[in-house]
């Protein structure tokens, strides 16, 4: 009979200490970024169930999307009705992908719906308390494809990603339109007939796609995002793109990671075209000295991970960069709101 292996208490304490230190290094404590609006803000979670099975689950259960709604408390704007912001995270992101931006918007009277896409998010909390981790198949797709040398394969993958994310966003938008009409007043600042879609990376690609398919989208904020939905196929090794103009205001924001490559990365062809366009609906911002993760709150929550993923150290302190990003996005959002009154 084998003897039980007894791990010394000192070893257990040592491992626990190492884990604690590693966690503190990777995710150091920090205060929430200061907001500039006058309204107290609050958030709560709810769930939207779609009428289809979740492709990442084997039990046939319906797809359930977690939504974290940020909103102003005691909004006193009278008859003012502001567009609703709906946000989609980047690949392996979280429901708090751009939390500081959501809080900033809410402090100025906006309702923000942050969506977690099961299978594409690092993890998603379900209404039964269980967590769904990122899909390994999704990770393999990201790691295995090459949009430059194998555009055919990439175009098919992009189409699947956009179908999944945009269906999630549409379900949340339709649900909120019903929910706002039955609310107890805490979302009274929201005009559920007008949405501004927002996203980082793949989330921004979905945000741009929503402007192509829904008339109630009145603006888009895309944080370093290719126009994936505009890719309609491949011919002679090149992407076939829908390069027609968007009829609404679009804010594209870039970092060092993508800005200098827009003209060479095939999937960013429309971004390069819109960058040079004289269409007054298009606005473009380039922040020099930061990486891709500098456009989301991972740069603040885990500077070490952000540096590893970006393969560079930001020249700007994360909290300062996020303040700049949030101010620019708020300015864009407020101009849309004023123009649609």
pLDDT at position 128 is 96
- 45: helix, strand or coil: strand
- 125: helix, strand or coil: strand
Query: Residue 18, Cα to own-chain centre: how many angstroms?
Result: 32
Token duo for residue 204: 């921004």
Contact present, 325 and 297 (Cβ < 8 Å):
no
pLDDT tens series, the chain, 341 aa: 444 444 455 544 444 444 444 545 565 677 788 999 999 999 999 999 999 999 999 999 999 999 999 999 877 655 568 999 999 999 999 999 999 999 999 999 999 999 999 999 999 999 999 999 999 999 999 999 999 999 999 999 999 999 999 999 999 999 998 887 655 567 777 888 999 999 999 999 999 999 999 999 999 999 999 999 999 999 999 999 999 999 999 999 999 999 999 999 999 999 999 999 999 999 999 999 999 999 999 999 999 999 999 998 899 999 999 999 999 999 999 999 987 65
- 62: helix, strand or coil: strand
For 255-330, strand residue ranges (E) read 282-286
pLDDT at position 8 is 52
Q: How many residues does the chain have?
A: 341
Contact present, 208 and 250 (Cβ < 8 Å):
yes
Neighbours of 272 (CB within 10 A): 14
- 61: helix, strand or coil: coil
CA separation, residue 48 to residues 127, 168, 192 (Å): 9, 9, 16
CA angle (138, 207, 242) in 5-degree steps: 90
Alpha-carbon distance 39 to 76, whole Å?
A: 9
Could you tell me the pTM of the whole model? 0.91
3-state SS, one letter per residue, for 75-115: CCCCCCCEEEEEEECCCCCCCCCCHHHHHHHHHCCCCEEEE
Alpha-carbon distance 48 to 69, whole Å?
A: 12
Residue 289: CB partners within 8 Å, gap ≥ 6? Answer: 256, 314, 315, 316
Selection from 65, 41, 42 nearest residue 52 by Cα: 65
pLDDT at position 42 is 95
CA angle (226, 197, 286) in 5-degree steps: 50
Long-range Cβ pairs for the range 212-216 (8 Å, 24+): 212/242, 212/246, 213/166, 213/170, 214/170, 214/173, 216/173
Helix H or strand E encompassing 162: helix 151-181
Write out the DSSP string of 248-274. S-EEEEE-TTTGGGTTTSGGGHHHHHH
Angle between helices 9-26 and 303-310 (to 10 degrees): 70
Contact present, 52 and 65 (Cβ < 8 Å):
no
Any idea which residue has 């200061």 for tokens?
34
């Amino acid at each position: 009979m084998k003897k039980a292996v007894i791990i010394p208490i000192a070893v257990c304490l040592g491992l626990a200490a190492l884990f604690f230190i590693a966690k503190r290094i990777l995710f150091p404590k920090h205060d929430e970024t200061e907001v500039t609006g006058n309204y107290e803000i609050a958030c709560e979670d709810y769930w939207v169930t779609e009428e289809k099975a979740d492709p990442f689950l084997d039990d046939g259960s319906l797809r359930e999307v977690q939504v974290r709604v940020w909103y102003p408390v005691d909004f006193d704007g009278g008859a003012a009705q502001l567009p609703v912001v709906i946000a989609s995270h980047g690949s392996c992101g979280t429901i708090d992908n751009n939390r500081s931006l959501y809080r900033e918007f809410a402090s100025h009277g906006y309702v923000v719906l942050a969506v977690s896409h099961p299978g594409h998010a690092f993890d998603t909390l379900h209404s039964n308390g269980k967590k769904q981790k990122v899909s390994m198949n999704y990770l393999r797709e990201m790691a295995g494809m090459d949009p430059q040398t194998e555009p055919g394969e990439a175009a098919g993958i992009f189409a699947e990603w956009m179908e999944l994310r945009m269906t999630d966003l549409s379900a949340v938008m339709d649900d909120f339109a019903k929910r706002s009409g039955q609310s107890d007043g805490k979302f009274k600042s929201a005009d559920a007939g007008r949405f501004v879609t927002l996203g980082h990376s793949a989330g921004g690609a979905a945000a741009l796609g929503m402007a192509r398919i829904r008339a109630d989208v009145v603006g888009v904020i895309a944080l370093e995002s290719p126009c994936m939905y505009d890719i309609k196929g491949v011919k002679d090794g090149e992407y076939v793109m829908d390069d027609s103009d968007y009829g609404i205001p679009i804010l594209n924001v870039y970092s060092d990671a993508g800005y200098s490559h827009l003209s060479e990365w095939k999937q960013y062809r429309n971004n390069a075209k819109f960058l040079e366009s004289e269409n007054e609906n298009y606005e473009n911002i380039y922040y020099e000295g930061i990486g891709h993760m500098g456009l989301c709150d991972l740069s603040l929550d885990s500077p070490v991970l952000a540096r590893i993923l970006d393969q560079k150290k930001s020249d700007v302190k994360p909290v300062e960069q996020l303040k700049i990003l949030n101010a620019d996005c708020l300015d864009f959002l407020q101009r849309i709101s004023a123009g649609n009154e």
